[in-house]
Amino acid sequence: MKTPIRIFIFVLLLVQVAVAQTPMKPVPMKPGALGPAGYIVLLPIDDRPAVGQFAQMVGAVADHRVTMPPMELLGRFTQAGDTAKIESWLRTQDYSKVDALIVSHDMLAYGGLVASRRHGVALADARKHLEFYRWFKKKYPSVPLYVFSTVMRVAPTATMETRGIHDDLARWAELKDRVPKSNDPKLKDELDQLTGRLSPKVIEDYLAARKRNLELNLVLLDLVSEGSIDNLILLQDDARQFGLHRQDQAVLKSRLAQLGIENKVPIYNGADEGSISLVSRAVLDKFNRKLRVGVVYSSEKSKSVIAPYEDHPIQYTVESQIKAAGGIPVSEYEEADYRLFVNAPGTSEEEFKLFLTKMIKELKEVRHIALADLLFPAPHYSGADERIIEALKKEGLLDRFAGYAAWNTAGNTLGTTIPYANMRVFFRTKLNDRADRAARAEAAHLEFLLHRYAGDYIYHDLVRQKINDRLREEARNDDSVTYELTREKYERVNREVAGAMKPLVEKFFSDYFKGKAYSLGIYNGVKRDVTINGLKDLKVYLPWSRTFECVIEFKFDYSGN
């Protein structure tokens, strides 16, 4: 045998061995009439519940199963995800029966949202992972690829490591954009003082991370233009009206215009909720549907208010979030698939009463109604408007919403409420073709509704604030103690959160959900309903060593006639 032929056979054997050692792993699914209505694969932005668990629960509302990589690959808080293993996991899935792939660029390139705000990952190393998109579209051209990426926020992540520089660096980044536009000598003097106070290395690292992220976001635009990415959304992480992020946005908009895709790639306020929005978008795209969303604001003035940690008016964020999730925003006076009530700042007491009265009236009429509570009320600064909760309790309407959320920023809340309502309304009008499927989706809807009350009202309004107040008192009013808990404090606070939350969630369930029957419709001439019998497997814990959010897990025990 000639040498070249021997070499060829040897190489061929090596390739066969390599292929045998990396088998395609089919996405878990249960084909057939009784299985889910669809399947989506998601790479979330990190391991927090809001970015993964929420997306899975929203998918379940439309009876779609959302599969994610093993949690251990995604990192935890300041520990970045393993980008090499994540890409390997993505490449070894079998997407032949999957409806869509949704990818967080920040996780694939840097190891997560927190890692994206740091300079640790070199541009060249991060850029290598972008080749995955071309590989995927070449191998699975018929599977829609959705990608979401953030525009770096104005401040670094609040941790013990950034304690002492967090606020100064954020203000410095704000003034670097604002001073040239204002020519205000006082602001110029403040900027000079901050520049002198901050370490040059801190500024250098901050700018390096921002430059790297901008360059890769520009590459993503090229990938959209060439067809390697089907849908891309750019989410502006926590922002201010001024800041270096505004300059990044300008560069991105200029490139979008050059490529002629400015109407295809939106840039708007948000981050954590990107995966939820794209789950909704993927399901609606699959059925070639767009839902008309009639928006009812708590006041005319509230439309133009710029919400905390954002840089655009609320109306712009509302309309952007609706479009990103697969909807069409319309006024409250136009025909719509459902009505989105937006409780926002800039609303007088009289206007709020009229808003609440209108919402309660429409809930009693059993219309499809969703509520995005953007009030951001003090002292919680993340959570529900208790005036609304109390009114709903009094009227017995807590379980009537088609969608609800009230957590953190306006973008976070809108990007949870809208996809949730989309899936609820779409399922009820399109996918409820079988009684078993309808029962499964009805339970999923009610589970996520209770989940939102548990997280946004019970945790943020009733539990978290008390724990934070005590932590600050122990630390002599040092607010940074809540940024990142020591191991000892984390273990103690974790127990306290679970101990406080469980009885409150159980009572809320017992008072407003337990024993209720919900109509599914008529199937084969028989009126079907589902009854919520109990709450099982309730778990509550802090996912990260901070009090900002908690994981809430449970399932409903339900039965149908």
Give the mean pLDDT of the chain. Answer: 92
- List pLDDT tens digits, range 474-518: 888 777 777 889 999 999 999 999 999 999 999 999 999 999 999
d(CA 167, CA 163): 8
pTM of the predicted protein model: 0.92
What pLDDT does residue 160 have? 73
221-225, 255-259, 380-384: lowest mean pLDDT where?
380-384
**What does R_g of the chain's alpha carbons equal in angstroms?**
24
Express each pLDDT in 340-366 by its tens digit: 999 999 999 999 999 999 999 999 998
User: Do the beta carbons of residue 416 and residue 407 sit within 8 Å?
Assistant: yes
pLDDT at 161: 77
pLDDT in tens, 422-462: 999 999 998 888 899 999 999 999 999 999 999 999 999 99
Among 6-20, 44-58, 130-144, 151-165, whose mean pLDDT is lowest? 6-20
Name the nearest CA neighbour of 544 among 492, 484, 466.
484
The CA–CA distances, whole Å, from 317 to 298, 325, 342, 412, 426 equal 15, 12, 11, 10, 22
CA dist 274 and 279 (Å) reads 9
- The C-alpha atoms of residue 175 and residue 197 are separated, in whole angstroms, by 14
Any idea what DSSP says for residue 516? -
- For 494, other C-beta atoms within 10 Å of its C-beta total 18
CA–CA separation, 330 and 321 (whole Å) = 13
Task: State the Cα–Cα distance between residues 209 and 222, nearest whole angstrom.
Answer: 20
From residue 191, alpha-carbon distances to 179, 198, 226, 358 in Å are 8, 11, 42, 48
Which of 440, 465, 456 is closest to 559 using CA atoms?
440
One DSSP character per residue, 3-44 reads: HHHHHHHHHHHHHHHHHHHS--EEPP---STTS-SEEEEEE-
Name all domains of the chain by residue range, CATH numbers in brackets: 3-153+199-282 (3.40.50), 162-198 (no CATH), 290-431 (3.40.50), 433-561 (no CATH)
Judge whether residue 373 has pLDDT over 90.
yes
In this predicted structure, the answer to whether residue 32 has a pLDDT above a threshold of 70 is no
Q: Which residues contact 556 (CB under 8 A, 6 or more apart)?
A: 443, 446, 447, 513, 532, 533, 534, 535, 536
Per-residue pLDDT for 12 more than 80?
Answer: no
User: What pLDDT score does 8 carry?
Assistant: 40
Longest dimension (CA), the chain: 93
Three-class HEC string of 187-234:
HHHHHHHHHHHCCHHHHHHHHHHHHHHHHHHHHHHHHHHHCCCCEEEE
Tell me: pLDDT of 287 over 90: yes
Task: Say yes or no to pLDDT of 62 above 70.
Answer: yes
Question: 109-162: per-residue pLDDT in tens?
Answer: 999 999 999 999 999 999 999 999 999 999 999 999 999 999 999 988 887 777
pLDDT above 90 (res 379): no
Residue 306 is given by DSSP the state B
Q: How far apart are CA 328 and CA 250, in angstroms?
A: 26
DSSP state string for 90-110: HHTEE-TT-SEEEEEHHHHHH
Residue 380: predicted pLDDT = 60
- pLDDT above 90: percentage of residues in the chain: 84
Write the pLDDT tens digit of every residue in 72-108: 999 999 999 999 999 999 999 999 999 999 999 999 9
Return the SS3 of 299. Answer: coil
The pLDDT tens digits for 207-243 are: 999 999 999 999 999 999 999 999 999 999 999 999 9
Q: 49 pLDDT exceeds 80?
A: yes
**Of all helices (H) and strands (E), which one includes residue 531?**
strand 526-541
Mean pLDDT confidence for 192-210 = 95
| Residue 206: pLDDT over 70 | yes
Stretch 278-287: mean pLDDT? 98
CB atoms within 10 A of CB 251: 14
